[in-house]
Amino acid sequence: MPWIAPLMSGKLQPSRGRYGVLRIALNPLDKDPFLVADAAAVLRARVSPPPVAGWHPGMDDESIDVLLESAYLTDNPDRLSPEQVLSRLEALAPRMKKITDRLLGIR
């Protein structure tokens, strides 16, 4: 989306980093919204990096980073030494707790 589009639509928001939601108005497309959504999903599947499994619009950058790191550690234990796996898991634990606390409303 061009940088001016959010400004013109009154939806200027600060950048959220690498991940986020792209909202596209479907009214001007003059097509069935389900057809447009299906086409968008097909196009998105062609882009690298691939979609994050388990992603939902409420996730922020930190949540996605933690999800990707935990998936990497789960799916690739043989690529790292046991010490590296343990070190990365120990680094991941406080990040997971912070996300869980935020979701539960604990301050």
pLDDT in tens, 70-85: 989 988 888 989 899 9
Q: Quote the mean pLDDT of the chain.
A: 80
pLDDT at position 87 is: 94
Q: Is the peptide bond before 49 cis (omega within 30 degrees of 0)?
A: yes
Q: What is the pLDDT of residues 91-105, one digit of tens each?
A: 999 999 999 898 888
CA distances from 64 to 3, 24, 34, 41 (A): 24, 22, 26, 19
pLDDT at position 84 is: 92
pTM comes to 0.59
Q: What's the burial of 88, exposed, middle or buried (CB within 10 Å: 0-12/13-18/19+)?
A: middle
pLDDT at position 54 is: 82
Q: What is the DSSP letter of 90?
A: H
- Residue ranges in the chain modelled with pLDDT below 50: 1, 16
Give the list of residues 6+ apart from residue 11 with CB closer than 8 angstroms, or none. 23
